Structure 1
Amino acid sequence: MQPVNEFLHCMRDGWDRLTAAQRAERVRQDLLFIADPVTHLEWNDPLAFADLTLGELHHARAVLLRLLPHLVAAARAEQS
Protein backbone atom coordinates (compact mmCIF):
# COMPACT_ATOMS: atom_id res chain seq x y z
CA MET A 1 0.00 0.00 0.00
CA GLN A 2 1.32 3.46 -0.85
CA PRO A 3 2.13 5.63 2.19
CA VAL A 4 -0.62 8.19 1.47
CA ASN A 5 -3.20 5.44 1.15
CA GLU A 6 -1.92 3.93 4.40
CA PHE A 7 -2.25 7.36 6.06
CA LEU A 8 -5.84 7.73 4.85
CA HIS A 9 -6.68 4.13 5.78
CA CYS A 10 -5.24 4.50 9.30
CA MET A 11 -7.07 7.77 9.69
CA ARG A 12 -10.36 5.91 9.26
CA ASP A 13 -9.49 3.35 11.91
CA GLY A 14 -12.32 3.27 14.45
CA TRP A 15 -14.61 5.56 12.44
CA ASP A 16 -17.56 3.27 12.99
CA ARG A 17 -17.44 4.23 16.69
CA LEU A 18 -17.29 8.00 16.05
CA THR A 19 -20.08 10.49 15.53
CA ALA A 20 -20.00 12.68 12.43
CA ALA A 21 -18.82 15.59 14.59
CA GLN A 22 -15.94 13.50 15.94
CA ARG A 23 -15.04 12.44 12.40
CA ALA A 24 -15.03 16.08 11.28
CA GLU A 25 -12.75 16.96 14.21
CA ARG A 26 -10.37 14.13 13.33
CA VAL A 27 -10.17 15.38 9.73
CA ARG A 28 -9.59 18.93 10.99
CA GLN A 29 -6.73 17.70 13.18
CA ASP A 30 -5.23 15.78 10.25
CA LEU A 31 -5.43 18.91 8.08
CA LEU A 32 -3.63 20.88 10.81
CA PHE A 33 -0.94 18.22 10.86
CA ILE A 34 -0.54 18.33 7.08
CA ALA A 35 -0.31 22.13 7.16
CA ASP A 36 2.52 22.03 9.72
CA PRO A 37 3.73 18.49 10.42
CA VAL A 38 6.58 19.45 12.73
CA THR A 39 4.45 21.53 15.10
CA HIS A 40 1.64 18.96 15.30
CA LEU A 41 3.73 15.81 15.33
CA GLU A 42 3.08 13.54 18.27
CA TRP A 43 6.32 11.71 18.88
CA ASN A 44 4.55 8.66 20.28
CA ASP A 45 2.21 8.41 17.27
CA PRO A 46 2.30 4.86 15.82
CA LEU A 47 1.92 6.12 12.26
CA ALA A 48 5.13 6.82 10.38
CA PHE A 49 4.35 10.23 8.87
CA ALA A 50 8.02 10.72 8.11
CA ASP A 51 7.59 8.33 5.17
CA LEU A 52 5.19 10.71 3.41
CA THR A 53 6.51 12.94 0.65
CA LEU A 54 5.24 16.47 0.07
CA GLY A 55 3.28 15.16 -2.91
CA GLU A 56 1.62 12.52 -0.78
CA LEU A 57 0.76 15.07 1.90
CA HIS A 58 -0.71 17.28 -0.83
CA HIS A 59 -2.83 14.36 -2.08
CA ALA A 60 -4.01 13.51 1.44
CA ARG A 61 -4.90 17.18 1.99
CA ALA A 62 -6.95 17.25 -1.22
CA VAL A 63 -8.86 14.13 -0.17
CA LEU A 64 -9.54 15.48 3.32
CA LEU A 65 -10.65 18.88 2.02
CA ARG A 66 -13.18 17.17 -0.23
CA LEU A 67 -14.40 15.03 2.67
CA LEU A 68 -14.68 17.72 5.35
CA PRO A 69 -17.80 19.56 4.05
CA HIS A 70 -19.71 16.26 3.94
CA LEU A 71 -18.72 15.47 7.51
CA VAL A 72 -19.71 18.94 8.70
CA ALA A 73 -23.11 18.58 7.00
CA ALA A 74 -23.58 15.15 8.59
CA ALA A 75 -22.63 16.56 12.01
CA ARG A 76 -25.19 19.34 11.63
CA ALA A 77 -27.82 16.78 10.64
CA GLU A 78 -26.98 14.72 13.76
CA GLN A 79 -27.56 17.77 15.95
CA SER A 80 -30.99 18.44 14.46
Structure 2
Amino acid sequence: MALVMLRAPLADLAGGREHPVDGATVKEALVALERTCPNISGWVLDERRTIRTHVNVYVNGELAREETAVGDSDRIHVLPAISGG
Protein backbone atom coordinates (compact mmCIF):
# COMPACT_ATOMS: atom_id res chain seq x y z
CA MET A 1 0.00 0.00 0.00
CA ALA A 2 1.11 3.53 -0.74
CA LEU A 3 1.03 6.09 2.05
CA VAL A 4 -0.78 9.41 1.54
CA MET A 5 0.66 12.22 3.65
CA LEU A 6 -1.63 15.18 4.32
CA ARG A 7 -0.91 18.63 5.70
CA ALA A 8 -3.29 20.91 7.55
CA PRO A 9 -6.12 21.63 6.98
CA LEU A 10 -6.64 18.38 5.04
CA ALA A 11 -5.10 16.30 7.84
CA ASP A 12 -7.65 17.76 10.24
CA LEU A 13 -10.53 16.88 7.90
CA ALA A 14 -9.21 13.36 7.32
CA GLY A 15 -8.53 12.62 10.98
CA GLY A 16 -4.77 12.31 10.65
CA ARG A 17 -1.67 12.98 8.58
CA GLU A 18 -0.89 9.48 7.25
CA HIS A 19 -3.28 7.19 5.38
CA PRO A 20 -2.36 3.88 3.71
CA VAL A 21 -4.25 3.43 0.43
CA ASP A 22 -4.45 1.01 -2.48
CA GLY A 23 -4.15 2.20 -6.06
CA ALA A 24 -1.96 1.83 -9.12
CA THR A 25 -2.07 5.56 -9.94
CA VAL A 26 -2.29 8.80 -8.00
CA LYS A 27 -5.93 9.16 -9.06
CA GLU A 28 -6.83 5.67 -7.81
CA ALA A 29 -5.03 6.32 -4.53
CA LEU A 30 -6.81 9.64 -3.98
CA VAL A 31 -10.21 8.13 -4.83
CA ALA A 32 -9.48 5.38 -2.27
CA LEU A 33 -8.55 8.07 0.26
CA GLU A 34 -11.88 9.84 -0.33
CA ARG A 35 -13.70 6.54 0.29
CA THR A 36 -11.98 6.02 3.65
CA CYS A 37 -12.00 9.73 4.60
CA PRO A 38 -15.20 11.18 3.12
CA ASN A 39 -14.70 14.55 4.82
CA ILE A 40 -11.99 15.43 2.29
CA SER A 41 -14.15 14.63 -0.74
CA GLY A 42 -14.04 17.56 -3.11
CA TRP A 43 -11.02 19.17 -1.46
CA VAL A 44 -8.31 17.36 -3.45
CA LEU A 45 -10.14 15.99 -6.49
CA ASP A 46 -12.82 17.91 -8.34
CA GLU A 47 -16.09 16.50 -9.73
CA ARG A 48 -14.21 15.13 -12.79
CA ARG A 49 -11.75 13.34 -10.50
CA THR A 50 -8.84 15.59 -11.49
CA ILE A 51 -6.51 17.22 -9.00
CA ARG A 52 -7.70 20.71 -8.13
CA THR A 53 -5.53 23.53 -9.44
CA HIS A 54 -4.75 24.81 -5.93
CA VAL A 55 -3.43 21.40 -4.79
CA ASN A 56 0.02 19.96 -5.53
CA VAL A 57 0.65 16.23 -5.32
CA TYR A 58 4.10 14.67 -5.11
CA VAL A 59 5.13 11.03 -5.29
CA ASN A 60 8.44 10.46 -3.51
CA GLY A 61 9.30 14.13 -3.89
CA GLU A 62 8.48 14.40 -7.61
CA LEU A 63 5.54 16.46 -8.86
CA ALA A 64 2.78 14.07 -9.94
CA ARG A 65 -0.48 14.09 -11.88
CA GLU A 66 -3.49 11.77 -11.86
CA GLU A 67 -1.88 9.22 -14.19
CA THR A 68 1.40 8.97 -12.25
CA ALA A 69 2.09 5.35 -11.28
CA VAL A 70 2.16 4.48 -7.58
CA GLY A 71 3.87 1.50 -5.98
CA ASP A 72 3.43 -0.19 -2.62
CA SER A 73 6.26 1.64 -0.88
CA ASP A 74 5.58 5.09 -2.38
CA ARG A 75 4.71 8.20 -0.38
CA ILE A 76 2.14 10.56 -1.84
CA HIS A 77 2.29 14.06 -0.40
CA VAL A 78 -0.79 16.25 -0.86
CA LEU A 79 -0.08 19.96 -0.38
CA PRO A 80 -2.88 22.52 -0.58
CA ALA A 81 -1.87 26.01 -1.69
CA ILE A 82 -1.29 28.54 1.05
CA SER A 83 -2.22 32.11 0.42
CA GLY A 84 -2.49 35.22 2.44
CA GLY A 85 -1.85 38.87 2.47
| TM-score w.r.t. length of structure 2 | 0.26
Q: As a proportion of its length, which structure holds more helix?
A: 1
Report which structure shows greater RCO (CA 8 Å, sep ≥6): 1
Q: As a proportion of its length, which structure holds more strand?
A: 2
| TM-score w.r.t. length of structure 1 | 0.27
